[in-house]
Amino acid sequence: MKVCIIGNGLVSLTLANVLIKKELAVDIFINKKKIKPNKYRTLGISKSNIDYFNVDVMEIGKILWKINKIKIYTEKNFNQEILKFDNNNKQIFSIIKNHKLQELLTSKLKKNVLIKFKTNKVNIDTLKKKYSLIINCDSNHLITKKFFSNRLEKNYNSYAYTTIINHKKINDNNTAYQNFTNNGPIAFLPISETQTSVVYSLKTKKKDYYPDIKNLIKKYNPIYSITKIYDYSSFELKSSNLRKYYKDNILAFGDLLHKIHPLAGQGYNMSIRDIKILSNLINKKIDLGLDIDSSICREFQKISQDKNYIFSTAIDWVYEFFNFERKISSDFLIKSVNIIGKNKTINNFFKKFADNGIRI
């Protein structure tokens, strides 16, 4: 039984590392054109997903930076957090540089005889006949345009700007800060004692409408003595949910299934949860001595689609709540959130929701 993965992004590489542990032969189809890695992009991984990653994918503890607290502000309440998540100095989630994780995942795969990297030159019919399961993670592939274009989509009319700041050493730089400003949410995510990642989602239809992002970072800087701000990269913000996850033995995966606003740092976490589901379905087939076929695609959609839609809708609701709050003159909503957030039961629910996603 052979599996084909189209695309070589983080989700593709993570999934491939999971599959080879099952002793499945995996061909990874990549674009011939090399893309320069973005060294200013980071991602957050929840505690439960890190635990899974270390056991079922590979050990990544050495390149993670643990976050123990999260403080949330708004433009109207810049000097006092409206919400605070504290796990008694225990890890809530961790931050990792995208390119570092990609390098580790790729390095491990290249050492495994079950993995072959190929270029995207095979037609769809040939792929369907040659492979038991085709997993498509490439949004630009012909398969995507032919089978996976029907989706629910929302344009935030915003661009996310990402960069890294250098600052004076902070021994306990383990607190993440999120400020819902009048122009959109900005997050400060520590990655070491002297570096912090910044993600600012700005309301604009023009990619270069805010060319001087550095001044905005300084304006909303919560605690840091900044010594350097690196060049930023940007990407357009949209959310989407695919209406149908598969076609025959071809399964859409990763961002093709769901895109969400980056304010909660949950995009990659959703994909890891999808990998867990797919992995369990494959294990059941192997344990029963059954072939890996199109039935896995059908079962995967049945289990994961509703969960993914509910979770992505919840993230969008958070965005719209704070977007509405900044438009009104009253601070009643924020005071209500502050009161609710101090309730331990509700606070713990939010932490578990962010850590584990939807459980049905």
| pLDDT block averages, 10 residues each, the chain of length 360 | 91 96 93 74 93 94 93 81 81 93 95 90 83 93 92 92 95 94 92 96 72 87 95 90 96 95 88 97 93 93 95 90 74 65 70 68
Q: For 72, which DSSP code?
A: E
User: In the block, which residue shows the tokens 């060294």?
Assistant: 39
Q: Exposure pattern of 246-276 as b/e (b: 16+ CB <10 Å)?
A: bbebbbbbbbbbbbbbbbbbbbbbbbbbbbb
Q: Which residues contact 358 (CB under 8 A, 6 or more apart)?
A: 307, 308, 310, 311
What pTM was estimated for this model as a whole? 0.92
Number of other residues whose CB lies within 10 A of the CB of residue 310: 12
The CATH number for 82's domain is: 3.50.50.60
Per-residue confidence (pLDDT) for residue 348, from 0 to 100: 73
Per-residue confidence (pLDDT) for residue 74, from 0 to 100: 87
Q: Which helix (H) or strand (E) holds 74?
A: strand 69-74
Per-residue confidence (pLDDT) for residue 13, from 0 to 100: 97
Cα–Cα distance, 269 to 291 (Å, whole number): 28
Per-residue confidence (pLDDT) for residue 38, from 0 to 100: 80
Provide the number of structural domains found in the chain: 1
Cα–Cα distance, 105 to 215 (Å, whole number): 36
Question: What domain range includes position 15?
Answer: 2-356
Per-residue confidence (pLDDT) for residue 209, from 0 to 100: 54
